[in-house]
Amino acid sequence: MVRKTDDLDQSSFVATDYELNSAFTFENWVVGDANELATSAAIAVSEQPGKQYNPLLIYGSSGLGKTHLMEAIGNKVQELEPNAIIRYITTDDFMNDWVDAISKKKTAEFTSNYENVDILLVDDIQMLQGKTVFKKIFNIFNKITKSQKQIVMTSDVLPKDIPGLNTRLVSRFMQGVAYDIQKPDYPTRLAILKNKAEETGMNIDIQTLSLIAEEVDSNVRELEGAFNTLTLMARSGKKINVANAEKILEHLNITKQKVITIEDVQRVVAEEYDVSLADLIGKKRNSDIVMPRQVAMYLIRHLTDISLPKIGQAFGGRDHTTVMHGTEKIADLIEKDLTVKQRIETISAKIKERQ
């Protein structure tokens, strides 16, 4: 990322504006079960910014490609509308700009820079934790969305899970839609590695790529790190093969995480709540079944990289929105009820112990 600046005197205010990474495109993005919904929403936004999914929030753990997907929106809009005003900013720099504008008595310039855009891309809104600039952000976001301009944000967590974030701001951030990106599954990881090999023009056998895809199951960043180390080895004259790939994985201290399946979670939850597995995944909606079912959905979301649609299929063919509602309900209960929190932590530990 390169920050665009102008040669102005020290009393002038210059809003931060990063160049989009030209490599972060939809063409270079691998779609899998773990990011399918977020990708669909991102493409829709890039084709009709400000018309739907506004604001769009993409959330998930670090290293899964949130920034890539967000910048892909900006790059696509720039391609379709070369004159579009696109501003890409990190949350930290947004706050620094606000402090700078106040100190230089340039708040009007600050507001103008951020409101007069076609798309505002904001990275890492979880950094708003405990900050007091919510009124200014709220007003700017209001102006942009009311003008039918687009806002796209990324976060490690949902806004409601950001400690100390003002409730009005949480409501504003969630006014559009929020889609998460989970850890990529094996087929997606292998596809990512194949794409990297093609991009670099390297001839790497499928057994070597499969080994890396099998072992590096944490996030995309670590996956690409392992691949880049492999290419450095090749440039130093060493062969790219399974044996050398194993050495790299050992050097990077990468060990494959134990795989938890949907069935693992369902069995343990059914036992803990003393309900039958058939009822847990079936159509019954009485309260003594609904609660364990939602707990199982919640734990699958937090212990695996399985997508919402696949979870829904595993519970009697339910829609992904039903899964989302169930997991959010349990997340709220965990915050409010210590007994529920402790019980779910106990169940989670038992699931992990059985691996």
Q: Are 105 and 12 in contact (CB under 8 A)?
A: no
Could you list the beta-strand ranges (E) of 208-283.
Answer: none
The angle at the Cα of 55, spanning 4 to 75, to the nearest 5 degrees, equals: 40
DSSP string, 296-353: HHHHHHHHS---HHHHHHHTTS--HHHHHHHHHHHHHHHHH-HHHHHHHHHHHHHHHH
DSSP string, 222-241: HHHHHHHHHHHHHHTT---S
Binding-site members for ATP are 63, 65-67
The angle at the Cα of 164, spanning 181 to 103, to the nearest 5 degrees, equals: 105
Q: Say which residue the tokens 């709540």 belong to.
A: 273
Rounded-to-integer distance, Cα 172 and Cα 165, Å: 11
Count of CB atoms situated within 10 Å of the CB of 12? 11
Binding-site members are 63, 65-67
